[in-house]
Amino acid sequence: MKKAEIKLQVELDDANVPDKITWSSNDGESSDELPAKAMFLALWDSAYKNSMRIDLWTKDMPYDEMKRFFYETLQTLGDSFLRSSGGDPMAEKVIADLRDYCAHFADKMEVLEQQN
């Protein structure tokens, strides 16, 4: 069986605020550490039927990038749910609603205007 390792490193300042986040994987073309300014990690605990999460961002993460990060994360969560649903028609309807909300979020937070 093939195994892959994803490594996350977080450097903290004296107040335990993230200064630097890097990640690497041994399953890609390069195992170099790559920088990141923010991360959301969610794991499902099937024994307790709940999620465990780690949400971190560096203190130099700009607010406009954080808004874009949230928008893109919501969009990709919808993609992931669709892939996992096996073509469930109700999932497709619910994800359409999520897409509508993402458009609303992007409009209110002026996410897409910042891109241009």
Q: What is the pLDDT of residues 41-89, one digit of tens each?
A: 999 999 999 999 999 999 999 999 999 999 999 999 999 999 999 989 9
The per-residue pLDDT for 28 is 73
* Residue partners of 61: CB distance under 8 A and separation at least 6: 37, 38
User: What pTM value is reported for the model?
Assistant: 0.87
- The b/e string for 50-82 (b: 16+ C-beta within 10 A; e otherwise) is eeeeeebbbeebeeeeebbbbbeeebeebeeeb
pLDDT of residue 110: 96
Please give the pLDDT value at position 20. 98
Instruction: Give the span between the Cα atoms of 26 and 2, in whole angstroms.
Output: 11
* 32 half-sphere exposure, CB direction, 13 A CA radius: 5
Q: Give me the pLDDT at residue 114, please.
A: 57
Mean of all residue pLDDT scores within the chain: 94
What does R_g of the chain's alpha carbons equal in angstroms? 17
Tell the residue number behind the tokens 């209110």, with chain if given: 108
